[in-house]
Amino acid sequence: MTEYWQEELETINRKDLEKLQLTRLWQTIERAAKSPFYQKVFAERNISVDTVRTLEDLQKLPFTTKDDLRKSYPYGMAAIPLKECVRLHSSSGTTGNPTVVLHSAKDLSEWANQVARCMYMVGIRDTDIFQNTSGYGMFTGGLGFQYGAERLGCLTIPAAAGNSKRQIKFIVDFGTTCLHIIPSYAVRLAEVMYAEGIDPRKDTKLHTFCIGAEPHSEEQRQRIEQMIGVKAYNCFGMSEMNGPGVAFECKEQNGLHIWEDYTIVEIIHPETLEPVPEGEVGELVLTTLNREAMPLIRYRTRDLTCILPGECRCGRTHKRIARFKGRSDDMIILKGVNIFPIQVEEVLMQFKELGSDYLITMETIDNNDEMLIEVELGDFSTDDYSRLQNLTKTITRHLKDELLITPRLKLVSKGSLPVQEGKAVRVRELRIKN
């Protein structure tokens, strides 16, 4: 057994896996009780490690939500002293409290193992040259894959997001064989390659893509595979659960194995909050099993998926979840960046020149996913073109700072947005998702 190919763990029989989960769950509850947040929750509900005798008893524990994380900003979820934490990741946003995720050195090492395990599963080896097109900094797809690929022993290129021509130069010159890439960007990159006269099948050594961070269809995966001549594997992660590596498709490409030695997986009805049977779509709820700095119990991801019934032909015993069907909240993902419409509203409302009506349109233009924000002006004349241009620039800059993507902003005269009856529709989804 090596750190990244863990046959005994990946093919462990369900009974032993559940025993391991229960032991780790007890440790998790004990650790969590040391954080200010869970200390209070446990005291209010009289919860201790004795509350949980079997895995089913997990349901006696309350859910944890993104809102709990926001309210605990910045360090209310820390279960170990800050001195023992070595990394902090935070979500975007300056208008409200972002979420913070803390890691100990052991947490980071476990996370690297988890990502390396996923990569090994789809055939990536230490002889591969792995280029990461994810944003670095706070985006966990950056450092998460970086350390995972290095743990596996790949020659790893932290190219980061953007600059497609440079990405392609690296791919060609360095002989890149594997990419971590967001599906919508993979299509864009392929288009740029073709425009540059590069045939990815002949002129590159690419063979494997890890694609994730945003919803995509089976058709989109196949399109990427055909455009570039690679195998593309779906990868799920979220910052609250470390980042990439929570669940990953094996070579069967039929659902994502969710690593149950790292997390307990539940699927609940998003309204009744009751568990739903295998095969039925509901909200994914995850409990961390070996995190030290910030254990999370029954975390409501808001992602909609189901457990795929039956065993996987690859022999791994960890459950498989289906490709995501959407979210149970209003979060939008654009270019791998999470955006809540309220963030847009909060920025717009800071400008006294603007009225209160706005419309966000998500669209695909020339293979690029974009966000158009149309907003009505208040008492501001559209005749003064240069003032209007300056205002547009200023607001766009504020929006970019808040959202981390650049929207197209159109300031329109009062009363020109469609009149809406009842609850205003603020977001239109017109993106092409195959």
Residue 417: name its binding partner from Zn ion, ligand AMP, ligand COA, none (Cβ under 5 to 8 Å by kind): none
Q: Does 337 bind ligand COA (CB under 6 A)?
A: yes
Residue 188: name its binding partner from ligand AMP, Zn ion, ligand COA, none (Cβ under 5 to 8 Å by kind): ligand COA
**Interface region with ligand AMP, contact rule CB under 6 A, candidates 109-117, 172-180, 211-219, 352-360:** 211-219
Count CA atoms closer than 13 A to 60's CA, side-chain side. 15
Quickly list DSSP for 173-205.
HHT--EEEE-HHHHHHHHHHHHHTT--HHHH--
CA angle 392, 395, 396 (to 5 degrees): 80
Give backbone dihedrals phi and psi of 4, rounded to 5 degrees, phi first. Answer: -110, -15
Residue 301: name its binding partner from Zn ion, ligand AMP, ligand COA, none (Cβ under 5 to 8 Å by kind): ligand AMP
**Interface region with ligand COA, contact rule CB under 6 A, candidates 94-102, 270-278, 316-324, 334-342:** 334-342
Residue 314: name its binding partner from ligand COA, ligand AMP, Zn ion, none (Cβ under 5 to 8 Å by kind): Zn ion
Q: Which of 29, 100, 246, 250 binds Zn ion (CB under 5 A)?
A: 250
Residue 330 and residue 340 in contact, taking contact as beta carbons nearer than 8 Å: yes
Alpha carbons 153 and 162: distance in angstroms, whole number: 25
Q: 3-state class of 334 per DSSP?
A: strand
Q: Does 134 bind ligand COA (CB under 6 A)?
A: yes
Q: Return the number of the residue (215 or 355) whose C-beta is nearest ligand AMP.
A: 215
Residue 75 and residue 41 in contact, taking contact as beta carbons nearer than 8 Å: no
Report, in Å, the least distance between residue 250 CB and Zn ion.
Answer: 3
Alpha carbons 236 and 301: distance in angstroms, whole number: 12
Residue 191 and residue 367 in contact, taking contact as beta carbons nearer than 8 Å: yes
Q: Does 12 bind Zn ion (CB under 5 A)?
A: no
Residue 346 and residue 352 in contact, taking contact as beta carbons nearer than 8 Å: no
Residue 324: name its binding partner from ligand COA, ligand AMP, Zn ion, none (Cβ under 5 to 8 Å by kind): ligand AMP
**Interface region with Zn ion, contact rule CB under 5 A, candidates 94-102, 124-132, 236-244, 249-257:** 249-257
Shortest Cβ contact with ligand COA: which residue? Answer: 141
Of 308-327, binders to ligand AMP (CB under 6 A) are 324, 327
Q: Which residues pair with 155 in a beta bridge?
A: 129
Residue 240 and residue 296 in contact, taking contact as beta carbons nearer than 8 Å: yes
Helices and strands: H and E segment counts in the chain = 12, 21
Q: Which of 200, 212, 245, 295 binds ligand AMP (CB under 6 A)?
A: 212
Q: Does 318 bind ligand COA (CB under 6 A)?
A: no
Q: Does 42 bind ligand AMP (CB under 6 A)?
A: no
Quick one: DSSP state of residue 49? G
Other CB atoms within a 10 A radius of the CB of residue 150 amount to 17
What is the binding site for ligand AMP (CB under 6 A)? Answer: 140, 212-215, 234-239, 243, 301, 303, 324, 327, 333, 338
What is the binding site for Zn ion (CB under 5 A)? Answer: 250, 252, 312, 314, 316
